[in-house]
Amino acid sequence: MKVLHSIAELRAFRQHAGRVVFVPTMGNLHEGHLSLIRLAKQHGDSVIVSIFVNRLQFGVGEDFERYPRTLAQDCAKLESVGTAAVFAPAEDALYPNPQQYCIEPPGIANELCGKFRPGHFRGVTTVVSKLFNIVQPDVAIFGKKDYQQYFVLRDMVLDLNMPIEIIGAETGRAEDGLALSSRNGYLSESDRAEAPRIYRHLSQLRDAVQQGARDFELRCQQVVADLAQHGWKVDYVEVRDAHTLGAPSATSTRLVALIAAKIGNTRLIDNIEIQL
């Protein structure tokens, strides 16, 4: 496995990499990421993984500085699952100057997580576009755990005619249902015990909707109340149309229930798709 730090090295490697499947990450890799790599290997000749903690997508007061940088451990894990190359640029390789040209996403980027993280999705679309232009992958894989991110990037690729196939990977979970996330490492023991509550609520929402419930607003309010009662600070609990991320309509064929909430100082997000 090659570990490449410069854009020039990456481009030279890419020349002979065949059909490339790309998995962008911020590092601090866990089993959820490794399942993305395993999926990636089924879709091309070479899997390229980027590791870059992207300052642009962190807001003021967020965890950019304390986000764990664990390159050596990450590379060992990536090698064990058959990654062809890791692209781990220094910050000034991607941002030699303050970024001037940005990919401005539409209004959906200001809803759900975007409402609580202004500019976050512009930071994501911009860095992913840059990485796409550097890696020039045939396929890119994003985890559905960050559902809105997956949605925005898939739409961006279509809307800007990028020649890349986007695949969404199912969320990896602990045995108790908690979605695997780098931020789980921030949880205290008692918060870790409490954390699976959001997946339990999502599962119950899915079951109720599949049994015919359509009182989304009331049910979401009840979830908010229950989470608050158990010490969570809730950003949102929503049911949306999975194809548009807008409000569900009578013609929706697939929905998605999404939760974002803080336990202690740690913000967790999760979601579940609901086939109708």
Residues 109-148 that bind its own copies (CB under 8 A): 125-126, 129-130, 133-134, 136
Q: What does the alpha-carbon distance between residue 84 and residue 78 come to, in Å, rounded to a whole number?
A: 9
User: 18 labelled as ligand-binding?
Assistant: no
How far is it, in rounded angstroms, from Cα 63 to Cα 83? 28
How many residues contact its own copies, by CB under 8 A?
Answer: 26
**Closer residue to its own copies in complex, CB, 100/211:** 100
19 exposure class (CB count in 10 Å sphere: 0-12, 13-18, 19+): exposed
| Nearest to its own copies of 97, 253 (CB atom) | 97
194 near its own copies, rule: CB under 8 A? no
Q: Determine the Cα–Cα distance for residues 252 and 209; give it in Å rounded to an integer.
A: 12
Specify the residue, 106 or 185, whose C-beta has the smaller distance to its own copies: 106
Shortest Å distance, C-beta 106 to its own copies: 4
Say how far apart CA 41 and CA 271 lie, in whole Å: 25
Instruction: Put the strands of the sheet holding 266-275 in their side by side order.
Output: 232-241, 254-263, 266-275
161 in contact with its own copies (CB under 8 A) = yes
Residue 43 CA to its chain's centroid (Å) = 20
Kindly tell me which residue out of 1, 53, 71, 102 binds its own copies, with binding defined by CB under 8 A: 102
What sign results for the dihedral spanned by CA atoms 157, 158, 160, 164?
positive
- 106 scored as a contact of its own copies (CB under 8 A): yes
Contacting residue, 8, 160, 193, 225, with its own copies by CB under 8 A? 160
DSSP label of 179? B
Query: Tokens in use for 63?
Result: 């965890």
Asked whether residue 62 is marked as a ligand-binding residue, the answer is: no
Angle at 52 between CA 48 and CA 53, to 5 degrees: 150
Query: Of the residues 5, 16, 33, 230, which is catalytic?
Result: 33
Give yes or no for residue 31 binding its own copies (CB under 8 A).
Answer: no
Confirm whether residue 115 is marked as ligand binding: no
Q: Is 33 a catalytic residue?
A: yes
Which contiguous run of DSSP H or E holds residue 21?
A: strand 20-25
Does 70 engage in binding with its own copies (CB under 8 A)? no
Which stretches of the chain bind its own copies, using CB under 8 A?
Answer: 7, 11, 94, 97, 99-106, 125-126, 129-130, 133-134, 136, 155-156, 159-163
Give the residue numbers annotated as catalytic, written as ranges.
Answer: 33
Known binding-site positions: 26-33, 57, 143-146, 149, 172, 180-183
Known binding-site positions for (R)-pantoate: 57, 149
